[in-house]
Amino acid sequence: MPPARRQRRLPVQVVVNRLFLAGGKKKAYAALALTLFMVYFAKPEFHVDLKAMNTITEETKAAEALVTSVWGNVFTRIFLAVEGESIEDLRKTGDRLAGLLEREVASGTLSSVFIPSMIFPGEERGKENFRAWKAFWNRKRVAQFKKSMDAASSDLGFAPNAFAPFYSAINTRNYDTKDIPEAFFALFGIARNRDGSGWVQFSTLTPGANYDGEAFYASYGAKGIARVFDPNLFSERLGRYLSSTFQKMALIIGLSAVILLFLFFMDIKLTLITLLPIIFSLICTLGTLKLVGHPLDIPGLMLSIVVIGMGIDYSIFFVRSYQRYACENSEPLGLIRLTVFMAGASTIIGFGTLSLADHSMLKSAGLTSFLGISYSLIGAFVILPPVLETLFVPAQFPDRARTGAGKIPANVVKKYRHLEVSPRLSARFRTSFDPMFVELQHFLKTPGIIMDIGSGYGVPAAWLLELFPESRVFGIEPGYEKARISNRVVGDRGSIIQGSAPDLPVVPDPADAVLMIDVIQYLADDQLKLTLERLCRQLGNESLLIIRTKVCLEKGIGLPGLFKNIGSRAFGTKPHYRSVHEIRTTLIETGFEIQTVEPSGKGRGKTWFVAQIRRNRINMS
């Protein structure tokens, strides 16, 4: 039967692998150079004009220009609203407001003002106007005016008494307040409140050359003189508020992402490395927007949250794939690269198309997202590979004995550096608090081959390989993840396979020592006996069987054992705790001779059993 053909890779995957693997550190240096160049231009400039988010056709622009030429620009006018319980209250407020607005016109803050008090003043302002009127029309000026008018009116054909009403008004001695005719209420913007409890008056002002919206609002609106509505000021404040809100939101999401990444990795270096493409994308996006003359506006701020989220996703995929597979040439890592590339490319195409839209808001959102996601993807493919390849170089075991045992715990922890959280914390806590390692080395001299049944994350195996440079470890572990981690830690100094007792790992020669550390309490009686019988047939006469287990005392297994028992049952594992006598009996029945029985640590309820094959059992074999 001919051999199966080698499966061909997709052309896209070949291209992606070349983009990812080619260049090495040169790509990272190029990205660093680009970042340093863009930093100079990366100062964010925020543009929060809401009008810039509108897009209108040329016909609409022409119509707006026509309306403005006829009626003026109504969107630049200022609107005032004053309230009063009665019309008289409105007139008093209007009198006060009229004096203030006249000074604003004189200073150039306003160009034109009209309020009803200018035609129908209240009592106080009316009296002031009347006194000014009388002061202006003194006797000398009235006589001169009449003389000039009589001469001019006669030449123009006016009747002699044509201006008699005006002369009568000039000579009026008493002021008479005039009420505002109700027919003029609509014209003057006077109306009742909706609940009918009072009156409100609306006035329109035109800003002048020296107009400052913030200062005008502070002088009138903030002090309660009148309610002010300035469309431009409202637009500016709303834009600043939205900009500030989205900036805070982006900052909160960014900080939350950093915290979540740290809690996910529990590793500062991995957290910072995951953020490198995002930092690269942020700097380059701001720099590019500055170079093309496009400030960061509200749509860009809104989409920055999406860019941060997607960029972190790309980084997490790569960091986790290196954390798991460690080799950039592995097939699963290649599939992950292809997945990230396809996801990023499809998103870039979508936002790139959006950046060509005619609508300014859609165009801005598309351009910002296109640049942000593109730089995030470039950063993930350019920056992360050389950094992760350097970071995940496996720590090597010594080729000769260590001079001091004090360095062994730190060296063991280094083997788990930057791996998943569970094995890393397990290695750190076990080497720091478990007395097993100090006690275990007293039972062994210079073992060549060590069989480890129930390797866990391989912490005891790593310890022994550090302690004995000539040793090799072959183990078996029922958990797939634990077997994978421990096999990676052991490296070329042995192998750990997935499986469970009574199956045994394959060893090239008879093992010099067999470890069963915290294992036999998870084996039923028949499984334990079968495992020991198989070991008895494989071991040599000098081989050691080293067991550590929690024993069942007369007073029970203790509080820690009780909690562990509950946890084991929660995960579907039923522990089988045995007394020292029961373990002794089982070892003897399966052909072992017990050499040592001693407690492990103080108050832990665990006991060491060291045994060898009985001499007569060897002779019988």
Smallest Cα–Cα separation from 276: which of 382, 381, 383? 383
Residues 345 and 433 in one domain: no
Residue 337 forms part of a structural domain: yes
Domain enclosing residue 418, as ranges: 405-620
pTM: 0.74
Domain identity same for 560 and 591: yes
Q: Are residues 30 and 94 in the same domain?
A: no
d(CA 180, CA 202): 15
Residue of 211, 236, 231, 230 whose CA lies nearest to 101: 211
Q: Based on the domain organization, do 216 and 252 belong to the same domain?
A: no
**How far apart (Å, rounded) are the C-alpha atoms in residues 493 and 475?**
11
Per-residue pLDDT band at 42 (split at 50, 70, 90) = confident
Nearest-angstrom CA–CA distance, 413 and 462: 9
Quick one: tokens of 163?
A: 């201006």
Phi, psi of 617 (to 5 degrees): -70, -40
pLDDT of residue 403: 46
Answer whether 234's CB lies under 8 Å from 90's CB: no
- Work out how many domains the chain is built from and give that number: 3
Model pLDDT, residue 52: 61
Final residue belonging to a domain, choices 172, 198, 230: 230
Of 391, 418, 433, the residue that ends a domain is 391
- Over 60: is that where the pLDDT of 503 sits? yes
Residues 423 and 460 in one domain: yes
Asked if 269 and 213 sit in the same domain, the reply is: no
User: Contact at 8 Å (CB) between 548 and 518?
Assistant: yes
Task: Specify the amino acid at residue 336.
Answer: I
Share of the chain above pLDDT 90, in %: 22
> Is 64 among the domain residues?
no
- Where does the pLDDT of residue 5 fall: very low under 50, low under 70, confident under 90, or very high at 90 and above? low
Question: Residue 571: pLDDT above 50?
Answer: no
| Same domain membership, residue 223 and residue 130 | yes
* Residue 326 and residue 178 in one domain: no
pLDDT interval class at 53 (50, 70, 90): low
Alpha-carbon span 617 to 454, nearest angstrom: 26
* Residue at a domain's end among 230, 253, 270: 230
- Give first-to-last CA distance, the chain, whole Å: 44
Does any domain span residue 456?
yes
Residue 427 inside a domain? The answer is yes
Residue 4 is assigned to a structural domain of this protein: no
Do 467 and 596 fall within a single domain?
yes
Are residue 609 and residue 484 in the same domain, yes or no?
yes
Tokens of 435: 């007395």
Specify whether 572 is located in the same domain as 466. Answer: yes
CATH code (residue 346): 1.20.1640.10
Residue 547 confidence (pLDDT): 92
**SS3 at position 6:** coil
**Whether residue 42 sits in one domain with residue 128:** no
- Which tens digits make up the pLDDT trace of 286-311? 888 888 888 777 777 777 888 888 88
More confident residue, 559 or 285: 285
Beta strands in 461-517 (DSSP E): 472-477, 494-498, 513-517
pLDDT number for residue 50: 60
Please report whether residue 67 resides in a domain.
no
Kindly report, residue by residue over 304-350, the tens digit of the pLDDT: 888 888 889 999 999 999 888 877 777 888 888 888 888 888 999 98
Helix, strand, or coil (residue 125): helix
Q: What is the pLDDT of residues 452-501, one digit of tens each?
A: 999 999 999 999 998 888 899 999 999 999 999 999 999 889 999 999 98
Residue 30 lies in a domain: yes
| pLDDT attached to residue 409 | 84
CATH number of the domain at 581, please.
3.40.50.150
Cβ atoms of 420 and 458 closer than 8 Å: no
Indicate whether 478 belongs to any domain.
Answer: yes
